[in-house]
Structure 1
Amino acid sequence: MKQDNIPLAVVVPAAGVGKRMQATCPKQYLQIAKQAIIEHTVLRLLEHPQIVKVIIALGGQDEYFSDTQLASHPAIEIVTGGVERVDSVLVGLKSLDAKLFPWVLVHDAARPCVTIDDIEALISSCLANKEGGILAAPVKDTMKRSASGLISKTVERDNLWHALTPQMFQTVQLTAAIEAALESNAIITDEASAIEFVGGKCHLVEGSSDNIKITRPDDLALAEFILTKQQLLSATAEPQE
């Protein structure tokens, strides 16, 4: 099978409650343009022709997903997530047949603005290099390290990147890396950190600044603005021959 025809799966951890949003429901179910954030996110992922399966790890007491249009989507599978994000990702990975899906992406439920161009760039890079990679954005601002609320040091921003998602790795490799990291009680903040823990390689693929993560209340309005802008650009784009 040619690389550009390899079917891909995405694991979307969505078991969190999003306390920093100060909302009455988990943040992935807050509405933007009459759709839940998670609906925007997952439907955007499925726009890529190679992504044929999305595994969503939900909280055990989730009361909202069944009301979304995703609940009856044939390309979506639901699993019960764990206490931490990494636990939910591992459950999703273990539900995959690695022979059918030798490569897997992991994407945050609260990143609805990721572009198809960025997803394509990541997939192409990983398959061409035969190694995993992540979308990332170079740090633009001056970075400060603090101690007790005071600046302790200015951190050189050269070669510093913001880690984004999706992140893409070989399914067997990522599963084994997460299991090894958890067994050693290592701190795993994203999939790349698990790969780093076991000494694996991970490429950086520069992504668009549109790809924000909705974390705080102000982010909701920004995401709505970005999605509206993207829709307008898509509507006015000239059809390709």
Structure 2
Amino acid sequence: MRNFIGLAAAACMLAACGGQPSIQSTPGLTVITGQAALPVPNRDDLVAEDRIALVGPLDTILVNVFGVGELSREMQVDAGGRIAMPLIGTIDAGGKTAAELALDIERQLAGRYVRNPDVTVNIVSSVSQVVTVDGQVVEPGLYPVTNQMTLLRAIASARGLTEFADADDVVILRTVNGQRVAGLYNISAIRRGLYDDPSLYANDLVVVGDSPQRRLFRDFVGLAPLLASPVIALLQR
């Protein structure tokens, strides 16, 4: 009986922790309440800042040499970051922007094969510019990075948090100048606008932590009927 009451009290405490105060305005957040409408974003608000997109292994690119259809084609970068072009052979493409790669192709074509070549390169699909989402999300995996990718968007791409996710313990791991750095984030606080949703970049690793409290509560809910049975039997005597 005492064990049942103690577990019930613990479950109530865990449930109480889930309550949150109403959202409030801060220096970085304006809360609009009542019948007031949210303001309409302007053009700058709708355009994300451009990021450098680099060609990487196994990416698919489209090379167009203006006026020379025989040299224009879609191709896949090999695992070593190289492409093979007619006339000029193998070219290192990995780690270059599309514009840089186009300039390299122009230089190698100029003079020997094509007079004043005009080359454009577009990245059709990228498997190298991805972020890894792991831990307590519904669908862990690799997700493409765009110039609008943020932590919340990455978690949404992974179909959200699982039942046992610890929203207060989310880590972003990143390499900067060869040095590994980590940031610890509170998803609940971001959702409530208490601080900005951090941007993600290619090769970032997002790890969502596990909540032992949530597992304990689930186990209690599963055991509660079994624990209550002896109490009911005693009351019926």
TM value normalised by structure 2: 0.22
| The structure with more radius of gyration | 2
If asked which structure has higher relative contact order (CA below 8 Å, sep 6+), I would say: 1
TM-score by length of 1: 0.22
Question: Is the helix fraction higher in 1 or 2?
Answer: 1
